[in-house]
């Protein structure tokens, strides 16, 4: 598994497509709740801002049946998920939690994601907000 602090798609399509019983999880390496104690260091130690953001700058991208936690470290991008430019991704049936800043951050007036049946918990700022 490769560890990254940021990933994004500005050309092409991002698809995080899990199922209700097996969601895709994006989290801190220290978060033992998904694969157990992978680092052999005892209790889980995930904390907000362990990764910067998932940046979506293209249309037709989709996040569905996912859990995104411990993100939001990039102050300029201000959320665990950052919608850049005029992107119009779909985010459905997803839990976004424990972000340092917003759950989803929008880059200005032209960002317009479709967000449905999502849960936002314990994020530092709003569920959906500007940078």
Instruction: From first to last of the 131 residues of the chain, give the pLDDT tens digit.
Output: 444 466 677 778 889 999 999 999 988 777 767 766 666 666 665 565 567 889 998 888 999 999 999 888 766 668 899 998 889 999 999 999 999 889 999 987 788 899 999 999 999 999 999 85
Is the CB of residue 128 less than 8 Å from the CB of residue 106? yes
Residues 6+ apart with CB under 8 A from 37: none
Is the CB of residue 56 less than 8 Å from the CB of residue 82? yes
What is the pLDDT, as a whole number, of residue 24?
A: 94
Closest CA to 94 of 33, 16, 6: 16
Q: How far apart are CA 28 and CA 64, in angstroms?
A: 19
Q: Give me the torsion for CA of 23, 27, 30, 32, rounded to 10°.
A: -20
If you compute the radius of gyration of the chain from its CA atoms, what whole number of angstroms results?
14
């Amino acid at each position: 598994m490769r560890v990254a602090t940021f990933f994004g798609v500005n050309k092409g399509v991002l698809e995080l497509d899990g199922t209700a019983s097996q969601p895709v999880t994006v989290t801190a390496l220290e978060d033992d709740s998904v694969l157990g104690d992978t680092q052999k260091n005892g209790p889980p130690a995930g904390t907000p801002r362990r990764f910067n953001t998932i940046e979506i700058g293209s249309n037709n991208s989709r996040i569905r049946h996912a859990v995104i936690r411990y993100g939001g470290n990039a102050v300029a991008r201000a959320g665990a998920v950052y919608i850049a430019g005029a992107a119009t991704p779909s985010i459905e049936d997803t839990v976004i939690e424990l972000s340092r800043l917003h759950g989803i951050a929008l880059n200005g007036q032209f960002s317009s994601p479709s967000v449905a049946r999502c849960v936002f918990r314990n994020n530092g700022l709003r569920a959906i907000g500007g940078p």
